[in-house]
Amino acid sequence: MKKRSATIQRKTTETDVALSLTLDGTGTYQVQTGVGFFDHMLSAFARHGLFDLKATCKGDLHVDAHHTVEDVGICLGQAFHQALGDRSGIARFGFSYVPMDEALARAAVDLSGRPYFVYNAPLVEERIGDFPAALAREFFRAVADNARANVHLDLIRCDNAHHGVEALFKALGRALSQACALDPRIQGPLSTKGSL
Task: Parse the chain into domains and list their residue ranges.
Answer: 5-180
Residue 92 makes CB contacts below 8 A (sequence gap 6+) with 110, 111, 112, 179, 189, 190, 191, 196
Phi, psi of 91 (to 5 degrees): -65, -30
CATH architecture of 5-180: 2-Layer Sandwich (3.30)
- Residue 155 · residue 123 · CB < 8 Å: yes
Task: Using pLDDT thresholds of 50, 70 and 90, give the confidence band for residue 123.
Answer: very high
pTM: 0.96
Could you tell me the maximum CA-CA distance found in the chain, to the nearest angstrom? 51
Cβ distance 153 to 122 under 8 Å? no
pLDDT in tens, 44-82: 999 999 999 999 999 999 999 999 999 999 999 999 999
The predicted pLDDT at position 3 comes to 87
Q: Binning pLDDT at 50, 70 and 90, where does residue 1 land?
A: low
Radius of gyration of the chain (CA): 16
Q: Where are the alpha helices (DSSP H) in the chain?
A: 36-49, 66-84, 135-147, 161-180
